[in-house]
Structure 1
Amino acid sequence: MSRNYAGLSRERIILEALHIIAGRGLGGLSMRRLGDALEVEAMAIYHHFPLGKEQLFNAITAYVTSPGSTGEAVPEEAAPDADREGDDAHEADTRPWDERLTSWADDYRSRLLEYSGALSLLVHRAPATPADTAARALVHRALTDAGVPADGLDRAADALYSYCLGAVVHEVRHRGDEDAPDAGEAADRFHHGLRALLRGLSA
């Protein structure tokens, strides 16, 4: 087996792990199997994830939920910068608040569907990355524009995240049913529920 680890990166490891999970399920992922798929010794993976599988699981969760993230935690001193990044992104976006949140929800849903094999990880793990912090700031800012008071922002954001995750779990769970909706109908159902939730949050 090759000992050339020059091309090995956190993202490559995460993507290969997601490929294994998609084919074999979460229980089918092991460091040895992952190493074989990457054509490296399993110990090479520990260079990027020294704490082992639990650290890898956390990184997978971050990658699935945070575009561009490879699972690096947010340093204590980096959080304010991440918040400003979210605010700057909002200031450049002049769309109404509900359009911004719908766009965010569509992107979030798409990533959850793309990596649906890892959904069970999200039940027990919450990402803590600059990308997630920036996304949360964007959601908070849009909710503020909708009239949600400051002391209700976290609860409103939690409702949005929970709806998106729950809707995807429901869609994936029934994907093989005989009467399961096609992709277009599934998206319409998601938007129907999302619109109702946004109306309630802004009332």
Structure 2
Amino acid sequence: MSRNYAGLSRERIIIEALHIIAGRGLGGLSMRRLGDALEVEAMAIYHHFPLGKEQLFNAIAAYVTSPGPATTSLDGPEEAEPAAEDAEPAGAAEPGPWDARITAWAEAYRARLLEYSGALSLLAHRAPRTPNSLATRALVQGALGEAGLTGPDVERAADALYSYCLGAVVHQVRHQQEEDAPDAAEADARFRFGLRALLAGLV
């Protein structure tokens, strides 16, 4: 097995871990299996995640919920890896009416959760806080402020939106194997219907 770890990074480890989770489930992820997939010894992974699997799980949760540097404050102090050039808060940063911006963000957030749905169970006990996720939330709150919300209602509304997106994805994934499960187009339509209803109720 190769001992050349020059190309090993936190992001590469996380992405490979997500591939394993997608194929084997969360329980199928082990440091040894991850090392085999990366063609390195398992101990090389601990160079990037010295606290072990729980630290890796925190970083996976951060990556899934927030495109950008694969770091999280739950890991403790450490140097963040550079973000990709296109890693920026999605949707809510675009120009346009506040509701259109929030809709764009919500659809992008949902798409990312669906892409990495095998890791959804990690999010039940982890609330990753990365510079990118905090910036994205600030943009969502800014859009809600434009809608006329003030004070604690802005934070409450943001919580409601995040909860709706995550809950909608969990519901879709949980039932997608059922015979009468909606197809992708109908699932999209149901998500947008619920989002419109939530936005209307917020203001």
TM-score, shorter chain, exceeding 0.5: yes
Q: What SS does the corresponding residue of 1:113 show, helix, strand or coil? A: helix
Would you say the 8 A contact 1:61–1:71 is kept in 2?
no
For 2:61 and 2:149, the matched residues in 1 are separated by 28
Cα distance in 1, alignment partners of residues 179 and 27 from structure 2: 27
Sort the Cα spacing of 1:2 and 1:94 in 2 relative to 1 into closer, same or farther, 3 A: closer
Listed as ranges, the matches of 1:64-143 within 5 Å are 64-73=64-73, 90=93, 93-143=94-144
Q: What is the deviation of 1:72?
A: 3.9
Letter in 1 for 2:118: G
CA distance in 1, matches of 2:194, 2:113: 17
Retained in 2: the 8 A contact 1:174–1:180? yes
CA–CA distance in structure 2, aligned partners of residues 101 and 186 of structure 1? 19
Deviation at 1:182, TM superposition (A): 0.8
Cα distance in 2, alignment partners of residues 72 and 98 from structure 1: 29
Q: Is the 8 A contact 1:73 1:130 kept in 2?
A: no
Structure number with higher relative contact order (C-alpha < 8 Å, ≥ 6 residues apart): 1
1:9 corresponds in structure 2 to 9
* 1:153 corresponds to: 154
| TM-score, normalisation: structure 1 | 0.90
Aligned-CA RMSD value = 1.7
> In structure 2, how many angstroms separate the alpha carbons of the residues matched to 1:4 and 1:67?
27
- Asked if the contact 2:46/2:52 (under 8 Å) is kept, the reply is yes
Q: Which residue of structure 1 lines up, in the alignment, with residue 40 of structure 2?
A: 40
2:82 maps to which residue? none
Counterpart in 1 of 2:83?
A: none
Instruction: Count how many residue pairs are aligned between Structure 1 and Structure 2.
Output: 190
Partner of 2:84: none
Shift of 1:94: 3.1
Deviations 1:142-194 (A, max 9, x none): 00001111221111111000000000000001111111111111000000000
2:194 matched to 1:190? no
1:106 & 1:51 partners in 2: Cα distance?
Answer: 34
In the alignment, the residues of structure 2 paired with residue 35 and residue 155 of structure 1 have an alpha-carbon distance, to the nearest angstrom, of: 42
CA distance in 2, matches of 1:72, 1:60: 9
| 2:73 counterpart SS class | coil
Cα distance in 2 for residues equivalent to 1:43 and 1:96: 50
Matching residue's letter, 2:173:
V
Q: Higher mean Cα deviation, 1-10 or 148-157?
A: 148-157
The separation in 1 between residues aligned to 2:146 and 2:54, in whole angstroms, is 38
| Structure 2, unaligned runs of 5 or more | 78-87
- TM-score scaled by structure 2? 0.90
The one-letter code matched in structure 2 to 1:187 is: D
Identity %: 74
Q: Distance in 2 between matches of 1:109 and 1:34?
A: 27
User: Greater share of helix residues, 1 or 2?
Assistant: 1
Output aligned runs, 1:41-56, within 5 Å: 41-56=41-56
Question: 1 CA distance for matches of 2:9 and 2:186?
Answer: 38
d(CA) in 1 for partners of 2:56, 2:109? 21
